[in-house]
């Protein structure tokens, strides 16, 4: 396992995106790093892989920029490079929702850490005795690879369908503690903010997503593997790539 894989995002106001794009391309091309970086005025989202020293060197340079100083990274390892090339793109959103008023950089929804969620799922209720449900904000093919036991799944084909699905099912979530989750945290963060604005009172996002949950809690309450958007296709709860049959990723992960 010689290749370090990292996943990270941060909602932060960014400007001069072409200049930032050029600087990141130069920094990544100077090292043996491949993967995808998405930039938007709302922040950064990245999935990268390379030798450990190269990854850590790149992160040190990135965190020297005050906007990314507290960037949190999820790590896993592979025996081969899972990405074919390097892409650094400028997009309207780092995760498309088509609701420009949802801006996490202006304030996050409450987050629950992995160990607290596990404790809640162990007992079936939160610390106030309220029933807890988990809400999968990912696409159908990701859910089919693995999800939390009894998680709510609205069979989303793309994340832009989430707002209408929430409005259609909002009454079912009233009086429950709802924990939204996704691969690394980015979609469930936007989802949790939207749920708050839709009038749900007890909403949390799973901090760090499934990848952080695997890191801290392993397989507890989770069935299957976590779909990832590279040639590994899926990670088991030990953050190791599976070698059995895996789903094929569509062209877009939005």
Residue numbers annotated as active site: 182
Residues 6+ apart with CB under 8 A from 197: 101, 102
The encoded tokens of residue 7 equal 């996943």
Give pairs for 16-19: CB < 8 Å, separation 24+.
Answer: 17/41, 17/90, 18/90
For residue 26, give Cα distances in angstroms to 20, 57, 86, 225: 10, 13, 11, 34
The encoded tokens of residue 36 equal 């995808």
CA 148-138-188 angle, 5° bins: 85
Query: Which ranges constitute the DSSP H helices of the chain?
Result: 17-29, 52-63, 114-123, 140-145, 162-173, 186-197, 209-217
Q: Which of 208, 221, 253, 217 is nearest to 238 (CA)?
A: 217
């Amino acid at each position: 396992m010689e290749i370090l894989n990292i996943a990270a995002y941060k909602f932060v106001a960014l400007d001069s995106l072409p200049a930032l794009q050029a600087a990141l391309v130069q920094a990544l091309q100077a090292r043996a790093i491949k993967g995808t970086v998405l930039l938007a005025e709302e922040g950064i989202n990245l999935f990268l892989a390379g030798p450990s020293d190269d990854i850590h060197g790149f992160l040190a340079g990135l965190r020297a920029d005050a906007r990314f100083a507290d960037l949190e990274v999820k790590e896993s390892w592979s025996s081969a490079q899972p990405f074919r090339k390097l892409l650094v793109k400028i997009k309207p959103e780092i995760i498309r929702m088509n609701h420009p008023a949802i801006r996490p950089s202006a304030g996050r929804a409450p987050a629950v850490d992995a160990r607290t969620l596990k404790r809640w799922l162990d007992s079936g209720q939160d610390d106030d005795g309220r029933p807890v449900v988990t809400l999968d904000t990912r696409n159908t093919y990701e859910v089919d690879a693995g999800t939390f036991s009894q998680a709510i799944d609205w069979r989303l084909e793309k994340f832009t369908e989430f707002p209408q699905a929430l409005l259609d099912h909002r009454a079912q979530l009233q009086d429950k503690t709802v924990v939204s989750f996704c691969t690394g945290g980015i979609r469930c963060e936007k989802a949790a903010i939207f749920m708050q604005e839709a009038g749900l009172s007890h909403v949390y996002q799973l901090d760090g997503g499934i990848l952080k949950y695997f890191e801290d809690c392993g397989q507890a309450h989770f069935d299957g593997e976590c779909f990832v958007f590279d040639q590994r296709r899926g990670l088991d709860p030990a953050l190791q790539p599976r070698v059995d049959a895996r789903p094929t990723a569509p062209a877009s992960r939005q």
